[in-house]
Amino acid sequence: MNINLCASFILVKGVVKHMKNQKWGRIIFMSSIAAQGGGINGCPSKGGLMSMMKNLSTRLAEYNISVNDVAPAMIGDAGMLSSAAAFPEVVVSVPLKRLGTPEETTNVVTMLAKTGYMTGQSLLLAGGLK
């Protein structure tokens, strides 16, 4: 909870005033497929992060501040899953039959940073998992 939810709250609290003053900003949280429901450890904090994102997106829209989150799952070479070869049983469970890449996650974050018209959205980056 402290890392996934509380840290995000504190960081947002520190930047929102400046974003409001300049009438522009992009807040992009890193969530997880766990926000959709999952393990007892990740679900409450990631679900709370998604709820905070939706609330902030409504409150900050008038200041031209968009707030979204990226919810990745099954991303290789990113810490939890080292490689597809190490976890073949995981790979076959993904509809695309491969792990995502850190670069694909970066692409989604970059798109959100460039696209101000999208706000209040959680983008599930999970190879077809739901």
Q: Which domains does the chain have, with CATH numbers?
A: 2-6+22-123 (3.40.50.720)
pLDDT reported for residue 79: 65
Q: Read off the amino acid at residue 47.
A: G
Query: Which residues, given as ranges, of the chain have pLDDT below 50?
Result: none
CA distance 63 to 20: 6
pLDDT reported for residue 102: 93
Reported residue count of the chain is 130
Question: What is the DSSP annotation of 29-62?
Answer: EE--GGGGS--TTHHHHHHHHHHHHHHHHHHHGG
pLDDT reported for residue 122: 94
pLDDT reported for residue 4: 74
Contact of 70 with 123, CB cutoff 8 Å: yes
pLDDT reported for residue 45: 72
pLDDT reported for residue 73: 87
